[in-house]
Copies of this chain bind each other. A is one copy, B any other.
Amino acid sequence: MTSRMRAEIGEQPDALRRTIDALRPAAAGIAALARETRQVLFIARGSSDNAAVYGRYLVESRAGRLGTPAAPSIATAYRRRLDLSGVLAVAISQSGKTEEIVETLDWAASCGARTVAVTNGEGSPLAEAAEVALITRAGDELAVPATKTYTTQLAALSVLGLGLGAQVDADDLNRVPDEVARLIEATEASPALGEIVEALARVPGAVVSGRGLAFGTALELALKIKEACYLHAMGLSYADLLHGPIAVVDAQTPALLIAADSGPTLPGTIALAERVRSAGAQAYGVGGGGGLAGACSAALPGPVLPEWTAPLGLIVPGQILVENLARRLGIDPDVPRGLNKVTQTD
């Protein structure tokens, strides 16, 4: 049985290539817009908010600009104006139709912010509302769990980072599509895939953790496990996991730990794997090279990419894990209960 979700996972190399090729020239427009701003405010919900977490760490760690999340209810429920002069507001929505996000971007503009949209919806209300629209080229996504629209959002945010002057080699982006294609094959060939699927099929929940540039990937994998497998998956940063929730890790609650195979957060993630296992729980790795794999009970391969582009591939083994786990649990991954493709919140 092949799901629509699995097909869309496989479409990611092409979707990423199209998006990177189309958007790299937009970095100049972002740079022009950003010249009058000093910081970035991300407006998003759900998977798009997890993409925003990548955006904030990229902007802060590589471009030296403050990048923080907005609280949409200030705009939509409290209807309070803030002084947002000097702020670059970046709204992210797959469909570009979520009214809360469009309304919050309009509010930001009325408060003095400059505006960017990241959306797969060309001509959507969100694209029309922004001064610069970074239109991802994911194509139609029919499965409810976002896959290629998420990774192409990350590609668009990496272009945002370039526009903001990130101190990176822009050509690293060109290696991503082929690396994602390789990673899909490597994940499906990995004996760890079946092992981790069987382990997760037998537990009520799991903790998913990652840090810095990989934190958004951990949140996104936790969200995917919740929405498509109905497990109680808690996405937590490394530090927050130590502040209380480490108590939930036990024989019935394994940890999934995610890291790029380089970067300053890798050693802490390896130490966390050791701590989880010493607490009597299983630790499963995603990425993190041989160091993390060696510290875990089993590990899925990660992308061989520099830390700043690694998140564009790092979620892919997780997507494959979720698709396999959903089917193992008798769930159709394409249409989880309770969800629609476009979520309307107010």
Contacts and interface: CB of A to CB of B under 8 A. Distances in A.
Interface of A: 38, 41, 45-47, 49, 56-57, 60-61, 64-66, 68-74, 77-84, 87, 100, 204-205, 211-212, 223, 226-228, 230-232, 234, 237-240, 242-250, 253, 264-265, 268, 279, 336-339, 343, 345-346
Contact of A232 (B228, B232, B345): B232
Contacts of A205: 204-205, 232
Contact of A247 (B61, B68, B226, B264): B226
B100 A239 contact: yes
Given A57-B74, A65-B82, A73-B265, A230 B247 contact: yes
A171 B244 CA distance: 34
A275 to B, nearest CB: 9
Contact of A45 (B80, B240, B279): B240
Contact of A338 (B72, B100, B249): B249
B81 A64 contact: yes
A264 to B, nearest CB: 4
B77 A212 contact: yes
A339 B227 contact: no
A100 B212 CA distance: 14
A56 to B, nearest CB: 7
A118 B240 CA distance: 19
B56 A71 contact: yes
Contacts of A264: 73, 77-79
A339 B246 contact: yes
